[in-house]
């Protein structure tokens, strides 16, 4: 049986999401924002974040990239599995990630989205895990920072399990 240690409690996730949503709402006040969620891990975070935004005009779309294969560290071989449908030309885009680890996936996705000529592009991550960072990416809005470890819950999976856990755990196999 894997071992689970709580890392970020339900209340803390909620508090951090409210805090970040306020900053984003201030930064984009009076503007239209396109949130681009990165599937599958960001689906719960995005759903909670978007309901805290006090912006009038928000569009939501999703991308899906795969990088991990069977391992728990990014291989760097990233494949785009699902692209966005919303036209982001000239628009303010906020990429919503579950967790940024090596940053290779995010770097790939930003390069991909920039080809569609958005007006601006920023990144919001539920968790910024900086220790293994390989790509020079900027996380503009981070709810939590953790040093290392493999996390599950609140959207984050291991072999597609545990996404439904209401808080975030460190998992040891
Ligand atoms: P990166 O390319 O930054 O190394 O990895 C990004 C993706 O890897 C994330 O979007 C996420 O899907 C997955 N990932 C990175 N770290 C973790 C982790 O601790 N737990 C889980 N479940 N997925 C992770």
Domain ranges of the chain: 9-151
Whole-angstrom CA distances from 3 to 56, 97, 151, 170 are: 43, 25, 11, 8
118 Cα: distance to centroid of ligand 1 (angstroms): 25
Q: What is the pLDDT of residue 169?
A: 97
User: How far is Cα 42 from Cα 62, in angstroms, rounded to an integer?
Assistant: 9
Residues whose beta carbon lies within 6 Å of some atom of ligand 1:
38, 41, 67-68, 74, 97-106, 129, 150-152, 156-158
**Interhelix angle for 43-50 vs 10-27, to 10°?**
60
Within 10 A of 68 (CB to CB), how many other CB atoms are there?
15
Q: How many whole angstroms from 112 Cα to the centroid of ligand 1?
A: 18
Matching residue, tokens 């990429």: 95
Ligand 1 pocket test, candidate residues 45, 80, 82, 99, most atoms within 8 A of CB: 99
Task: Give me the mean pLDDT over the 50-72 stretch.
Answer: 87
Mean pLDDT computed over 35-60: 98
pLDDT band at 1 (very low <50, low <70, confident <90, very high): confident
Q: What is the CA(44)–ligand 1 centre distance, in A?
A: 15
How high is the pLDDT of residue 132? Answer: 87
Give the CATH number of domain 9-151; options: 3.40.50.2020, 3.40.50.2000, 3.20.20.10, 3.40.50.300. 3.40.50.2020
Q: What is the pLDDT of residue 71?
A: 61
Residue 99 alpha carbon to ligand 1 centre in Å: 5
The protein residue with its alpha carbon nearest to ligand 1, atom 23, reads 156
Give the model confidence (pLDDT) of 66-93 as tens digits: 875 556 666 678 899 999 999 999 999 9
Q: Does the pLDDT of residue 158 top 70, yes or no?
A: yes
Q: Which residues are catalytic?
A: 101
């Amino acid at each position: 049986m894997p071992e689970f240690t709580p890392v970020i409690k339900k209340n803390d996730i909620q508090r951090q999401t409210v805090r970040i949503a306020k900053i984003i709402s201030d930064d984009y006040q009076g503007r239209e924002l396109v949130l681009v969620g990165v599937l599958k891990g960001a689906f719960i975070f995005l759903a909670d974040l978007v309901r805290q935004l006090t912006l009038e005009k928000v569009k939501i779309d999703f991308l899906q990239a795969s990088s991990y294969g069977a391992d728990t560290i990014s291989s760097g071989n990233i494949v785009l599995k699902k692209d966005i449908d919303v036209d982001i030309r000239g628009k303010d885009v906020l990429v919503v990630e579950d967790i940024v680890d090596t940053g290779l996936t995010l770097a790939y996705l930003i390069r991909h989205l920039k080809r569609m000529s958005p007006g601006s592009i920023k990144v919001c991550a539920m968790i910024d895990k900086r220790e293994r960072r390989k790509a020079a990416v900027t996380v503009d809005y981070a709810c939590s920072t953790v040093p290392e470890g493999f996390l599950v819950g609140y959207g984050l999976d291991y072999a597609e399990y545990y996404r439904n856990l209401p808080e975030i755990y460190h998992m040891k196999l």
